[in-house]
Structure 1
Amino acid sequence: MATGDLAAGSILLLQTVFGMLGNFSLLYCYLFLWCTGDRLRTVDLIVTNLIVANIFILFSAGFCSPMTTFGWNCLKSGSACRVFAYLRGVGRGASIGITCILSVFQAITISPRNSRWAELKVKALKCVVPSIILCWVVNMMLNIIYPIFVTGILSNKSITNRKSFKHCSAVPNDRYGETYAAMMSMPVVFSFVVMILASGSTVFTLYRRKQRVQNVHRINGSSISSAESRATKTILLLGLKDWNV
């Protein structure tokens, strides 16, 4: 075993373990608050579903690759390939979609009272739960192709009608492949476009609010804390995270 592969596998495994611990800790906190009778805010509900999607991604993509480096292949059977591929696809799509919902909700929440977004604040609270459910259902339906076509790596090398991946293989379907790829890409592209628009609107609103507050404090001769700047950085980092999913 090469030293570089061992080091890379160890780093990836540590990142996955710490990521799982962090997400499970946050999920436990939200579930504890819910079980004790505390009413969770709408943003807490969105974040809870985002945590579950991240756990799916970490569990399906973060364990098998580093464990293969240590000599244990957890994807030998076709069933394991199907389950891990399906969880990764559903988790990735749900993570992008729920982050889009979070971006839109934040843009509506912080919008000024005299803006067009302000009229949607009440309606947005009613649409959050159906939007999250729809996001999960759509991704579970779109990724159903993985349990159908994905299987384990075959020992028979003479078989040419299978596309081999690192740990699994799949039967390519030239007739419906492009159509299915377009169907998989459309929700992702739509989510990113909406996310960019919502995040841009949020950043613009925070910038204008900061400018107004700065003008008020400049007149009064006092300093201002940069809470809006920190919120803007958080929004931008959230968007960058989903580009790397």
Structure 2
Amino acid sequence: MNIWNLAIRIIFLSQTILGILGNLSLMFYYLDSYYREHTLKPTDLILMHLMASNALVILSAGVPQTMVVWGLKPFLNDFGCQLLLYIQGFARSVSIGTTCLLSVFQAMTISSRKSCWNDNKVKASKYIDCSISLLWVFYMVIRFIFLMYTFIKMNSKNMTRNRDFGYCSTTGHDEIINSLYTTLVMCPELFFAVLITWSSASMIVILYRHKQRVQNIRSCHGSSRNSPESRATQNILVLVSTFLAFYTLSTILRGCIALLYNPSWWLVYISRLTSLCFPCFGPFVFMRHYSVLSIFSFVWLRKKCSHNFIITM
């Protein structure tokens, strides 16, 4: 076996397993928090939906691609292929939109009292549920339109199979579907990327000014630790920066593949790996604050205590 093929197999397998474990662990933590407290902070609610969309991306894209690199031949028919691409598409779009919502909301949260966002902080927290639901519904409807249009055009004799994903192949797109995709998917994603960049830059400026403002106070008290709010904001800032880096790289590689008539196999694999990097490694940004072992040990301890309480009753 070629050593490069073996390396690709191990990388895909490790990335997929780590991504599934990371996203599901944080989702389990937030669900358990909601079960105990019957409420979630707006930031935790956004993160829970972000991990859910990332898990869908990994299950619909990472798992099939891993099966292919390990030698499994195409195993999906036309309907299964289109359905899998539908899940990949709306989950990826929801992940981008949720990341944007997280970044903008956090920038509003840490903004100063003199900022124009100060009056909208309370209003924004009330509309988080509605905004997240709107994201899911909007992209599910948009991708469903593409799905139905593709099924209608599949019966056309002029359509040819020219897109091979390894685990399945599908028909090519025409000018109408490409225009709709650019208008309804690419333009909003570009707008979200601009918002993420702007809000991230705002958070950097706010944190820098806050650090300069309280530096003398901390030196007088002899404490150099950051506040919990600053640490949470820094974690989110690292998360959105990671998203921007991998999203930009993935977009560039996809553009190169689209322009090349016969792209090399390593370019295709690197493009697919980078598109999965943020969904797989994003949860581990927060593992410094919520470790997997502490999550499961805490839940186990809580269940054990409640069980002992029932027995004593």
TM-score w.r.t. the length of structure 1 is 0.85
Cα distance in 1 for partners of 2:64, 2:162 equals 20
- Structure-1 separation of matches of 2:180 and 2:101: 26
Matched, 1:120 2:117: no
1:4-153 paired onto structure 2 within 5 Å: 4-73=4-73, 75-144=75-144, 145-146=146-147, 148-149=149-150
User: Which one-letter code corresponds to 2:67 in the other structure?
Assistant: M
Q: Which moved more, 1:32-41 or 1:132-141?
A: 32-41
* Residues 234 and 31 of structure 1, relative CA distance in 2, 3 Å threshold: closer
In structure 1, the gaps of 5 or more residues are: 151-157
What residue number does 1:153 align with?
none
Poorly superposed stretches of 4+, deviation over 4 Å: 226-233
* Higher relative contact order (CA closer than 8 Å, sequence separation 6+): 2
Q: Deviations over 1:129-184 (max 9, x none)?
A: 1111111112112222146427xxxxxxx986332223322232223422432321
Q: Deviation digits for residues 80-130 of structure 1, max 9, x if unmatched?
A: 212221111111110110011111111111112222111111111112111
**Whole-angstrom CA distance in 2 between matches of 1:185 and 1:232:** 28
Q: Structure 2: how far apart are the matches of 1:121 and 1:161?
A: 51
**Cα separation, 1, equivalents of 2:130 and 2:38:** 22
**Structure 2: distance between partners of 1:41 and 1:232:** 14
Greater mean alpha carbon deviation, residues 74-83 or residues 185-194: 74-83
Corresponding residue for 2:293? Answer: none
1:164 corresponding residue in structure 2:
163
Deviates more, 1:128-137 or 1:46-55: 128-137
Residue 282 of structure 2 corresponds to which residue in structure 1? none
- Alignment partner of 2:176: what SS? coil
Contact 1:97 1:188 in 2 (8 A): yes
Q: Equivalents in 1 of 2:130, 2:238: separation in Å?
A: 26
- State which drifts further: 184-193 or 171-180: 171-180
Contact 1:9/1:66 (8 A) holds in 2:
yes
State the shift of 1:221 in Å.
8.0
Using the aligned pairs only, state the percent identity. Answer: 35
Q: Kindly report the root-mean-square deviation, in angstroms, between the aligned alpha carbons of the 2 structures.
A: 2.6
Distance 1:180 1:22, change over 3 A: closer
Say which is worse superposed, 188-197 or 34-43, in terms of deviation: 34-43
Q: Number of aligned pairs? A: 238
Q: Do 2:13 and 2:66's aligned partners in 1 also have CA atoms closer than 8 Å?
A: yes
Counterpart CA distance in 1 for 2:33 and 2:217 is 39
Check if 1:189 corresponds to 2:151: no
Whether contact under 8 Å (1:54, 1:95) holds in the other structure is yes
SS in 2 for 1:116: coil
Q: Which moved more, 1:220-229 or 1:206-215?
A: 220-229
Distance 1:63 1:74 in 2: 13
SS at match of 1:52: helix
